[in-house]
C-alpha cells in the first residue's frame, strides 16, 4: 500500500511539473511558466532584411519571458527598424533597442516598461550596422506582442560613412592659387554634398604641411557641415604660402592616413561603420622608393585598417596609371588636370564612397 501511494505521488508530481511548462496559445489565457526564453529563437542572429516576431505571435507572448535579437545590416549600411504590430502591457512589458553590437551599446529607445515615457512604437535608425533588440515581459498581463521589420539602408547623403580627408598642403601643389582652389573645392563644393553629423557622415581632417607634420581635426571638432566648411577654409591661415613647405614626398600622405586610423579611435571613428580615406595628390612620387613606401601604406590602410582609399589627383603631369595603383581598387582614383575643374569629380567621388569592393582589386 505504501508503495502504491508513493507511485501515485510521483505520478501526480510529474504531471504537475509538466503542466507548469505547457503554454496554451490563446488570447484569453496563457498558463504560467517559470522558464525564461520561452518562444525565443534558438538562433538569434539576424542579417540584412527581415521580420522578427515576439514569442508565439500573433498569440499572446508568455509571462516572465526575455528574448535577445542580434541584428546586422549589410556592410556599409545602417538598420531601419519599424513595427507593423505593437501590443504590449505598456507599464511592465517592453522592447529595448541598443545602437550597436552589445548590451552595453548606447540605448536607442525603450518602448514601454519601467522608466520609459515611450509607449508607442515608431521608426528607428541605428548609427552603425549593428543593433541588439531585447523583449521582456512580467508575470501578469500578456498581449499579442509585436511584429518588427528590419532593413539595411543608407539614410544620409551620400551614405553612412566615416570619411578621413588628407588635405594636401605641400609645396608640390605648385602655387598658393592652386592650394586655394583645393581648399575651396573641399570646403564649398565637395563636403556640402554630404550630410555631416556624428550620427550621419563623420568627417575627420588631416592638413599635411610637411613630411613629418600635420594638423588634425577629429569628428568631434567638426560635427556639422558648417564646422567642416569653416575649419577647411581656416587651413589657408595655417598655410599662407604653400610654396614654403618644401620638404615634400608622396609617402607622407599615406603614412599619416594609416596612422590616423589606428585601433585607438582617437579621431572618433565609429565601430561598425565603413571608413573611407580620401587622399589629395598633387605630384608623382619623388622616386621608386617613395612610391613603394606609399604603396605599402596604401595596402595596409586596406588590409589592416579595413578602410577604402580614394585617390584624387590634382593638376597636370600626373602618372595616372601608376598613381591609380595606390587606390582601394580599380575605379577609385580620379584625376583633374586643372584645379579649376575639380568639381567635375564630385559625382564619381561620392559614388566611390558608397560603392562596394570592385572585382578588380588594387593594392
Q: Please tell me whether residues 149 and 179 are part of one structural domain.
A: no
Q: Please tell me whether residues 186 and 218 are part of one structural domain.
A: yes
Q: Which of 36, 76, 84 lies closest to 57, judged by CA?
A: 84
Of 114, 129, 153, the position where a domain reaches its end is 153
Assigned domain for 309 exists: yes
Please state, in angstroms and rounded to a whole number, the distance separating the CA atoms of residues 154 and 76: 8
Please state, in angstroms and rounded to a whole number, the distance separating the CA atoms of residues 49 and 236: 46
Q: Please tell me whether residues 211 and 342 are part of one structural domain.
A: yes
Assigned domain for 6 exists: no
Q: Please tell me whether residues 134 and 200 are part of one structural domain.
A: no
* Domain with 135 in it: 21-153
Assigned domain for 15 exists: no
Assigned domain for 333 exists: yes
Instruction: For the chain, 363 residues long, give each residue's pLDDT as a single digit of tens.
Output: 444 444 434 333 343 333 333 333 333 333 334 456 789 998 999 999 999 999 999 999 999 999 999 999 998 899 999 999 999 999 999 999 999 999 999 999 999 999 888 999 999 999 989 999 999 999 999 999 999 999 999 999 999 999 999 999 999 999 999 999 999 999 999 999 999 999 999 999 999 999 999 999 999 999 999 999 999 999 999 999 999 867 899 999 999 999 998 876 667 788 889 999 999 999 999 999 999 999 999 999 999 999 999 999 999 999 999 999 999 988 899 999 999 999 999 999 999 999 875 444 444
Sheet holding 66-72, edge to edge: 45-47, 66-72, 130-136, 94-99, 106-111
Q: Please tell me whether residues 106 and 201 are part of one structural domain.
A: no
- Check: pTM over 0.75? Answer yes or no: yes
Q: Please tell me whether residues 143 and 167 are part of one structural domain.
A: no
> CATH code at 188?
3.40.50.410
Amino acid at each position: 500500500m505504501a508503495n502504491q501511494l508513493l507511485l501515485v505521488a510521483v505520478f501526480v508530481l510529474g504531471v504537475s511539473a509538466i503542466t507548469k511548462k505547457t503554454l496554451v496559445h490563446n488570447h484569453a489565457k496563457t498558463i504560467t511558466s517559470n522558464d525564461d526564453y520561452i518562444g525565443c529563437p534558438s538562433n538569434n542572429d539576424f542579417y540584412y532584411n527581415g521580420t522578427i516576431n515576439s514569442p508565439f505571435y500573433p498569440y499572446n507572448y508568455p509571462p516572465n519571458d526575455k528574448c535577445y535579437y542580434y541584428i546586422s545590416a549589410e556592410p556599409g549600411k545602417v538598420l531601419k527598424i519599424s513595427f507593423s504590430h505593437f501590443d504590449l502591457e505598456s507599464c511592465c512589458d517592453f522592447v529595448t533597442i541598443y545602437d550597436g553590437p552589445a548590451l552595453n551599446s548606447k540605448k536607442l529607445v525603450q518602448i514601454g516598461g519601467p522608466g520609459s515615457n515611450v509607449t508607442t512604437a515608431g521608426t528607428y535608425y541605428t548609427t552603425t550596422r549593428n543593433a541588439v533588440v531585447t523583449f521582456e515581459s512580467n508575470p501578469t498581463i500578456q498581449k499579442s506582442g509585436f511584429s518588427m521589420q528590419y532593413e539595411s539602408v543608407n539614410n544620409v547623403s551620400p551614405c553612412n560613412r566615416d570619411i578621413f580627408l588628407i588635405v594636401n598642403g605641400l609645396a608640390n601643389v605648385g602655387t598658393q592659387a592652386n592650394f586655394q582652389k583645393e581648399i575651396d573645392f573641399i570646403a564649398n563644393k565637395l563636403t556640402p554634398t554630404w550630410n555631416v553629423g556624428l550620427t550621419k557622415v563623420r568627417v575627420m581632417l588631416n592638413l599635411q604641411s610637411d613630411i613629418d607634420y600635420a594638423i588634425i581635426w577629429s569628428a568631434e571638432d567638426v560635427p556639422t557641415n558648417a564646422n567642416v566648411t569653416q575649419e577647411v577654409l581656416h587651413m589657408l591661415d595655417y598655410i599662407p604660402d604653400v610654396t614654403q613647405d618644401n620638404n615634400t614626398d608622396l609617402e607622407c600622405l599615406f603614412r599619416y592616413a594609416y596612422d590616423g586610423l589606428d585601433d585607438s579611435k582617437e579621431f572618433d571613428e565609429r565601430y561598425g561603420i565603413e571608413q573611407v580615406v580620401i587622399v589629395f595628390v598633387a605630384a608623382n612620387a619623388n622616386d621608386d622608393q617613395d612610391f613603394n613606401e606609399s604603396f605599402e601604406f596604401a595596402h595596409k590602410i586596406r588590409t589592416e585598417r579595413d578602410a577604402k582609399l580614394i585617390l584624387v589627383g590634382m593638376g597636370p603631369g600626373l602618372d595616372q596609371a601608376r598613381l591609380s595603383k595606390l587606390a582601394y581598387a580599380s575605379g577609385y582614383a580620379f584625376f583633374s588636370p586643372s584645379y579649376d575643374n575639380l568639381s567635375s569629380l564630385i559625382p564619381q567621388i561620392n559614388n566611390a564612397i558608397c560603392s562596394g569592393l570592385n572585382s578588380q582589386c588594387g593594392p
